[in-house]
A = this chain, B = another copy of it.
Amino acid sequence: MTDDPKAPRGLDPDDWAAFRATAHALLDAALGKMEQAREGRVWTPFPAEMKAAFDQPLPQAGLGEAALSAQLEALLPYGAGNTHPRFFGWVHGSGTPQNLLAEITASAINANAGGRDHGAIYVERQVIRWCRELFAFPDTASGLVVSGTSMATLIALKVARDARLGFASRKAGLGGARLVGYASCEAHACNARAFDILGLGADALRKVPVNDRFEMDTAALRRAIAADLEAGLQPFAVIGTAGTVNTGATDPLTELAAVAAEHGLWFHVDGAFGALATLVPHLRPRFEAIERADSVAFDFHKWMHVNYDAGFVLVRDEALHRHAFSDRPDYLKGEARGLAAGNPWPVEYGPELSRGFRALKVWSQIAGFGMQRLGGVIAENCAQAAYLACRVSADPQFELMAPAALNICWFRSRAPGLGGPALDALNGEIVIRLQEQGLAAPSTTRLRGASVIRVNLTNHRTRTADLDQLLSDVARLGSDPETRRAAAV
C-alpha cells in the first residue's frame, strides 16, 4: 500500500524515452500508409496468419510497447479500402491525414465530453454553432455530435415521439398510442430501425412511393396521411431524405415541409451524406428547405471526410430536445462554480452519458480546411459522376442504367448474347474480381430489376484517371473468358 517497488505501477510507460521513440516510429508508419493512399491495392483480404494473431486466448501478461506497436503497424494495410482513390463502394468517406492531428490531441486530453466545465464542452458548442449556421437554423437550436446518422436519427425521432405524446410518456411509456410516420420507400433502413427501437414498430414508418427520379411522391404522402387519420392512427412525423443511399435522390423537401406544417407533423431530414451538398452553390437550391426542418441528421465521416466515426443531430427547438433526454428539471441547476459547472451538459441531449471528445475531429476538419475547400471536394465528386456517366454513354461496351444522380453512376458491362440473370451474374462477378484483384471497389446494387455496377463518389482522392482506369478494367474483365465462365457457374 505504500509506493514500494513491488506495488502495481499504474499504466504509464516505465521508460518515457523508449515510449516516445516507439510512438514516433508508429506515427511515421501511419503517415507512410496515409501518404501512399493512392498506391497499391484498393483492398487486401486479411491474411490467415493475421487472423490467427487476432484469435488468441485472453492474455494474462502484456506484449509491452514494442511488440504491441509492431502488431498495430502490421494492421495498417488491412483497411476496408476507403482511403484509396478507387474505392467507390457504398458511401464511405476517405478520412484525412490532417484529422490525425485532432485524434492525437483528443487522445492526450482523454476527456469525457458528457458534461462538466472543460475545453471539450466549448469545442462541441463551436461545432453546434457551425452546424446551425450551415443549415440556417436559429441561434437557439440545439445539437449533439454523435457516432453517425443512425444515432442522430434515433435521437431526433425520440424528440418527435415525446413531443407528440407529451413528456409524461417518458415515464408512462407509449400506452396504446398508435403513432405513424412517413418516409419514402428509398429512405435508409436506419429510420425504420429507429421506429423499432423506440417501440413504435418499423411498420409504423410508412414507405411512401417515389417518382421515376426516386423522390418521394408528395401526392402519395398526402393520401397516406389521410388514410391513417381515417383509420384513427396518429401521424406525427415526416422524414425527407437529402441524398438517398441507393440513388442519391433528394425528396422534394419544400413540399414535404409544407405538408408537415399543414398537418402539424415533425419534419425530420435524413441528410446522412447528402445534406452537405448544400455547400455546392449550384446544388444548394435542392437542399435549401433543410432549413425548414425540425431536426436534421447527418454524418461528418462521409462527405466531410472526418475520420470514422462522427455524425450530428440538429434540433430546432432546444427545449423539446432537452426534455426528451434530460432528467434534470429546469429548476435544478448544476453547480455554479468548479468542475461541475457549465450547464447544460451534453448528456441532456442524447442517450450517452460517457462521451469521447469526438467533436474535436469535426472542429479540426472545419477549422483546418474551411467550408470552401470541403465544398469543393463535394462539387468535384458530383462532376466526376457526370464525367463517368458521359464516358459510359459514349462506349458501346457499357450500358448506362440511369442518369448520374448527384455523386452516383450506375452502369453495366454489356456482353453480346447475354441478358437477364446471366448478365446480372457477369456484372456481379466483375465487381467481385475488381475487389479481389485490388483494382477498384465499386459495389453492386439492383436498379429497376437489374444487377448493376454502382460507383459512388464520396472520395476526395479520386481523380479522372481513376475513373478511366475503372472503365478499362471493367471492359477487360467483361470480355475475359475466365470471368465469364465463373459468372456462368
Contact = CB atoms under 8 A, between A and B. Distances in A.
A2 to B, nearest CB: 6
Interface string A358-389: 00100110111111111011011001100100
A54 B372 CA distance: 19
A149 interface: yes
Nearest to A347: B150
A332 interface: no
Interface in A296-327: 299, 301-302, 305, 307-309, 311, 325, 327
A57 interface: yes
Interface in A61-99: 61-65, 68-69, 71-73, 75-76, 78-83, 89, 92-99
A371 B59 contact: yes
B110 A82 contact: yes
A371 B56 CA distance: 13
Contacts of A71: 367
A119 B367 contact: no
A483 to B, nearest CB: 13
Contacts of A185: none
Sorting the interface of chain A by its residue count into under 10, 10 to 19, 20 to 34 or 35 or more gives 35 or more
B151 A64 contact: no
Contacts of A339: 43, 80-81, 89, 435, 441
A219 interface: no
Given A103-B104, A338-B431, A338-B432, A119 B463 contact: no
A258 to B, nearest CB: 28
A116 B82 CA distance: 12
A12 B335 CA distance: 44
